[in-house]
Amino acid sequence: MKEQNILVLGASGYIASQLIPRLLKYGYKVRCLVRDPSKITGESWFNSIEVFQGDILDKASLKNAFQNINIAYYLVHSMGIAKGDFAKLDRQAARNAGKAAMDAGVSRIIYLGGLGKRNLPQSVHLKSRHEGGDILRASGVPITEFRAAGII
């Protein structure tokens, strides 16, 4: 099997903390993009991954992180950021990641979205999750979207 290089965006979150050890167990080479690497240094898998410091809202910091990546896991959500409109930030983050993935020749984005039917009223949060998936799909990179309920 050809080596698969995986990029995890949103690596400091709970889902990533559960996903990354499994990816490593199955022999994937894992790279993470994080704003603050100190947030993941305590993870048991930290010394087994490649860490790129950057911000998904800063296009320039994405270019190198996406190089030689086959699959990108997009686990980012801006709701926890205190400043600004999180839905606007989510749209910009998805645009930036989609473009960087396309430019780097990434073969697939795996996106963690949210539940909800578009034809029914939605919270701003769920609407933002759907918009993120739409923006990533519009990048032209094939996408697999998982829709999950809240994780407690």
Given this model, what pLDDT does residue 147 score?
81
Q: Which CATH class is domain 5-148?
A: alpha beta
pLDDT tens column, 83-132: 668 788 889 999 999 999 999 999 999 998 877 776 777 777 677 788 88
Q: Residues of the chain with pLDDT > 90: what percent? A: 64
CA-based radius of gyration for the chain: 15
Distance CA 123, CA 128 (A): 8
Distance CA 50, CA 97 (A): 18
Given this model, what pLDDT does residue 116 score?
72
* β partners of residue 68: none
Indicate whether 79 pLDDT > 70: no
* β partners of residue 51: 32
Query: Residues, the chain, total?
Result: 152
For the chain, the structural domain boundaries read 5-148
Given this model, what pLDDT does residue 117 score?
73
